[in-house]
Amino acid sequence: MQDPNADTEWNDALRRHGIIPEKKEVEVTEDQIVQLLDATIKEKTGQKDAKDYTLEELGENEDDFDDDDTNSVCYFLFRRQRIAELMERQKKEKYGEIREISAVDYVDQVNNAGEGVWVVLHLYKSGIPLCELIDKHMVQLAKKFPATKFLRSISTTCIPNYPDKNLPTIFIYFEGDMKGQIAGPILFGGMNLTQDDLEWMLSKYGCVKSTLKSDPRGTKIDNKNGFTILSRSSRQKNSESEDDD
């Protein structure tokens, strides 16, 4: 028996005369659209999932879809959704640099940072090499994670009588609430600290969405703050072992 929901001239005629009911509208969920689009794009391009494409890449693949292709409807719906997502993300990614603040800026820039905003504040002092190293890394991380607000402040300017032994210090806030702190050279691993090391440490608090799969420091020592550190001697031993291998 012929499918009564099929789009044929015969079925159209039967519907007009009331012999068969009108075609049922099938509800398609967003997940089904994405799955269908993923399968279609992979079939036509042999590449990655639709959600992994940038807007430019989606535009480049537009010619792979026929105007009368059912999948093209899903394609353009998905593309419109991606535009909305990217516009929303663009609103959040508004920082991109490390900003200097003083004590009078603290409430406005940190406590009142806004809904959904992560803040990473570096307390430093000039002349301390590790502070200068962390500042250098944070400049790059601010560019890499523009949705996170990176700030710095001279320690005693921000907090009167703040002890130098606690420098460098990083405070981590989310929506005005402190979520963590890293204080003192030992927790940072000293001058061996790399940009990836710092990114991994920050990612443990959720303030940056790192793509690193594991701790770049290798041999780890657990500490009370919930992340790991690597001593200079441990790092050197690892390096010597790699050379021997």
Rounded to 10°, the helix 30-45/70-92 angle is: 110
**92, 98, 104, 107 alpha-carbon torsion, rounded to 10°:** 30
Contact 61, 45 (CB under 8 A): yes
Q: Show Cβ contacts of residue 208 under 8 Å, excluding neighbours closer than 6 positions.
A: 118, 120, 141, 144, 145, 148, 199, 202
Q: Is the pTM value of this prediction over 0.85?
A: no
- CATH 3.40.30.10 domain locations along the chain: 99-205
Look at residue 128 in the predicted model and tell me its pLDDT: 96
Give pLDDT tens digits for 60-117: 555 554 444 445 555 565 666 666 665 555 555 578 899 999 999 999 999 998 888 9
Sign of the dihedral through C-alpha 194, 177, 96, 205: positive
Q: Give residue for tokens 């009108």.
A: 22
Q: d(Cα 90, Cα 146) in Å, to the nearest integer?
A: 9
Which one-letter DSSP state was computed for residue 63?
G
Residue 59, pLDDT > 90, answer: no
Which one-letter DSSP state was computed for residue 107?
I
Q: Which CATH superfamily is domain 99-205 in?
A: Glutaredoxin (3.40.30.10)
Look at residue 240 in the predicted model and tell me its pLDDT: 45
Give pLDDT tens digits for 179-188: 999 999 999 9
| Residue spans of beta strands (DSSP E) within the chain | 98-100, 118-124, 149-154, 169-174, 177-183, 221-222, 228-229
Instruction: Kindly list the distances between the CA atom of residue 241 and the CA atoms of 107, 204, 244, in Å, as whole numbers in the listed order.
Output: 49, 28, 5
